Amino acid sequence: MKFEIVRNRLLDGIGDVMKAISSKVANPILTGIKIEVDEKGITMTGSDSDITICTFIPAEENGEQIIKVVEKGLIVLQAKMFSEIVRKLPTNDVTIEVVNGLQVHIRSGKSEFHLIGSDAEDYPILPEMRDEYRFTFPADLMKSIIRETVFAVSQHETRPILTGVHWLSKEGNLECVATDSHRLARRITSPEGLSDVPFSVVIPGKSLQELSKILPDNAELVDIVIADHQVLFKTRNVLFYSRLLEGNYPDTSRLIPSEYQTSVKVNGKLLLQAIDRASLLAREERNNIVRFVADEGKAIEISSNSPEVGKVEELIEALDVSGEDLKISFSAKYMMDALKAIDGQDVFLHFTGAMRPFILKSVDDDSILQLILPVRTY
Amino acid sequence: MKFEIVRNRLLDGIGDVMKAISSKVANPILTGIKIEVDEKGITMTGSDSDITICTFIPAEENGEQIIKVVEKGLIVLQAKMFSEIVRKLPTNDVTIEVVNGLQVHIRSGKSEFHLIGSDAEDYPILPEMRDEYRFTFPADLMKSIIRETVFAVSQHETRPILTGVHWLSKEGNLECVATDSHRLARRITSPEGLSDVPFSVVIPGKSLQELSKILPDNAELVDIVIADHQVLFKTRNVLFYSRLLEGNYPDTSRLIPSEYQTSVKVNGKLLLQAIDRASLLAREERNNIVRFVADEGKAIEISSNSPEVGKVEELIEALDVSGEDLKISFSAKYMMDALKAIDGQDVFLHFTGAMRPFILKSVDDDSILQLILPVRTY
């Protein structure tokens, strides 16, 4: 194996696959990056066995030569060391050569590294994808969907299925739901090419977070392929594989109230900032609870009280309050997470009494729903 | 006590005094900020008992009113909470009022906080400074001097005196020296107003690092007042006190060689980058050692070898090599620290043999000297 490559392109590729690589893996070869070179270009692979990322750098792009392939071949190089070396090389021209089996030479300018690689034969092979369901999202929409749901997954392994986001296809819609059983986030979309055949999969929250870091902030299309135990997200030069969680996701549809006793319309950003301040004192306490009072006067009062530290009162003007007067208490953190997911727009808060779950929706957009369970303090 | 203040100015002041405040203090009142208000403005104080920072915000500046003082007074507020609250207040107008002794109200827009303060009588009084020696530096020069020396202080408490920087005044010069007994950094200056009376003090490295964060990057003058057990750095609105270390600093002047067997002139930035790369593999080993070979050919070779990982060779072109051929080994970290202190300029390396301390100097500036002890590997 021998090739010359533009350092910056190599670095970008390493940056992508590094997102899958963890130092805490059972199989030591997974601390390495697998590098495969042929006349078309180089493919690098990183994996922690839950997530696998493959990135391809073409030999030529838009008529510009990026890689000069002298000899085909493949090798595994320790990821952290390889990445640091490439980052610090003195010039933008890098030559990588494998000699005598596993000896790797990396040259750039007057700098020369000799590393000992690992045999690519020992690297796990990619999961085979029996292409069952396939559809398409623009990358920026995919990132929004992840941002709006993934924060609500459970952080505890007591119910492993809740650490994932449930993707449920029905009637041409894709419903993405996450819940940790104290709050729930739901986003409904209609992706391009979704067939009418229903499916239900649970994607680990961690995988979606890593995917989000790799996707570009533009409308480049992402192909999504769902198979038995794996999901694959394909962009132009990157393949992102994640295992799926096994088990049945609970039916969450019955949790969501459809009739309301009190409805409040308010600017999401003002509400977020007021809750952020109110929670400053609440944070000292066990569970970060704030109180929320709304009545026909349209002035919402948010307060918290921490006997050791002090108390805080916030008043904000609602755009509208309808229905019964309301006093309710909830986790400031859950409310802030939900408001951030809705992203500063005007929101509706719909309540069905102080002890029942309440929902948040954007005034302009019905596709995002956030649900929070209140806390008994009154 | 009652006053109204522009939030941004209050935040700046809090930012300054927070640098002295630590959560690890024996006296719990030191987790607070002392606030004193009179008709001239407000003074805030933070301290961890080693370092004390006082900052003054004038009621009026350049004809602009910054503070409206309604009632004089003083209080201590828990620093972290106070700082977070002020940072998140909704408007730029803040009113702070103390009622019934220790109850503090902080108001801004429709946000109102009620905190319980502590009695300012319990706050330690500032050290009294019996003004013994006094001189002046521009702030940017003061920061350079700190940057060029403080990294070389010892990180270990086995010889506490070496955790400080020795400031020695003789014949109108100030010599600042730091050493951890493996390397040494020295900077000589002639500050404005230094008297001929010699003095010798040792300032804790940590104090100088914190001071450096507070000083502006301009030529504003810093008054330095040295007393028996304290040093005070005064800028226009900030007083920075630090205790001095007790004990005798070792005489380091005899360590510095004055005759050389080999002298190398080389670009500091190129050398720094080459050593950085060479040390990538050395880092895996116990002590991060690189080898350095220079001869009349002017090509310097830097290399390291880590049997488990691989090896690296770097060649750089010296500007000049004179004297005997040299093979020497040293800590890559110490060399990189020293080169960073000299800041990318062309440097002289003066050697007196492979087992003797060697020195680095800027080609253009004789006032900075770095000394490193080599390591035996050949």
Across the range A74-80, mean pLDDT stands at 96
Q: Please tell me whether residues B148 and B242 are part of one structural domain.
A: yes
Shared domain check, B244 and B281: no
Task: Please state the separation of Cα B7 from the chain's center in Å.
Answer: 28
pLDDT at residue B378 tops 60 = no
Question: Is B143 or B196 the better-scoring residue by pLDDT?
Answer: B143
Contacts of A38 (CB under 8 A, 6+ apart): A69, A72
Query: Residue B179: pLDDT above 80?
Result: yes
What are the tens digits of pLDDT across the range A171-206? 889 999 999 999 999 999 999 888 888 899 999 999
Final residue of a domain: which of A94, A122, A150? A122
Q: Quote ipTM for the complex.
A: 0.85
Helix (H) / strand (E) element for A30: namely none
Mapped onto helix, strand or coil, the DSSP state of residue B22 is coil
Cβ neighbours of B169 (radius 10 Å): 20
- Considering only CB atoms, which residues of chain B are within 8 Å of chain A? 78, 81, 84-85, 88-90, 104, 110-116, 273-274, 276-277, 280-281, 308-316
CA distances from B134 to B53, B55, B176, B212 (A): 19, 20, 16, 19
Q: Are residues A152 and A56 in the same domain?
A: no
Hey, how many other C-beta atoms are within 10 angstroms of the C-beta on A193? 11
For residues B152 and B165, state if they share a domain: yes
Total of domains in chain B: 3
Q: How confident is the model at residue B281 (pLDDT cuts 50, 70, 90)?
A: confident
Are residues B205 and B290 part of one domain?
no
Residues B198, B146 within the same domain: yes
CATH code, domain carrying A116: 3.10.150.10
Strand, helix or coil for residue B194: coil
In a domain, A160, yes or no: yes
Residue of chain B minimizing CA distance to A277? B88
For B187, phi and psi rounded to 5 degrees?
Answer: -135, 130
At A42, list the tokens: 């180089």
Q: Is A219 helix (H, G, I), strand (E, B) or coil?
A: coil
Q: Are residues B224 and B143 in the same domain?
A: yes
User: Is B58 a domain residue?
Assistant: yes
User: Quick check: is B335 in a domain?
Assistant: yes
Segment B76-122, tens digit of pLDDT: 999 999 999 999 999 999 999 999 989 999 999 999 999 999 999 99
pLDDT at residue B195 tops 90: no
Q: What gap in Å lies between CA B155 and CA B200, rounded to an integer?
A: 21
Distance CA A78, CA A70 (A): 23
CATH number of the CATH domain containing A346 = 3.70.10.10
CB atoms within 10 A of CB A228: 11
The β-bridge partners of B126 are: none
| Chain A: residues touching B (Cβ < 8 Å) | 78, 81, 84-85, 88-90, 104, 110-116, 273-274, 276-277, 280-281, 308-316
CA–CA gap between residue A13 and residue B270 (Å, rounded): 27
> Of the candidates B235, B253, B271, which is a domain's last residue?
B253
pLDDT in tens, B297-351: 888 999 998 887 889 999 999 999 999 999 999 999 999 999 999 986 899 999 9
Q: Average pLDDT for residues A336-364, to the nearest whole number?
A: 93
Residue of A nearest to B77 (CA): A309
**What span, in angstroms and rounded, lies between the C-alpha atoms of B215 and B209?**
10
- A75 occurs within a structural domain: yes
In a domain, A127, yes or no: no
**Host domain of residue A315:** 256-372
For residue range A130-177, what is the model confidence (pLDDT) as tens digits? Answer: 778 899 999 999 999 999 999 999 999 999 999 999 999 988 899 999
B296 and B358 inside one domain? yes
If asked whether residues B222 and B304 sit together in one domain, one would say no
- Whether B210 and B289 share a structural domain: no
Residue B127 is assigned to a structural domain of this protein: no
Q: Are B140 and B71 in the same domain?
A: no
Beta bridge partners of B183: B372
On the question of pLDDT at A248 being above 70, the answer is yes
End-of-domain residue from the set B205, B234, B253: B253
Q: Do both A219 and A179 map to the same domain?
A: yes
In a domain, B223, yes or no: yes
B128 assigned to some structural domain:
no
**Cα–Cα nearest to B340, from B272, B258, B242:** B272
Q: Do B280 and A116 touch (CB under 8 A)?
A: no
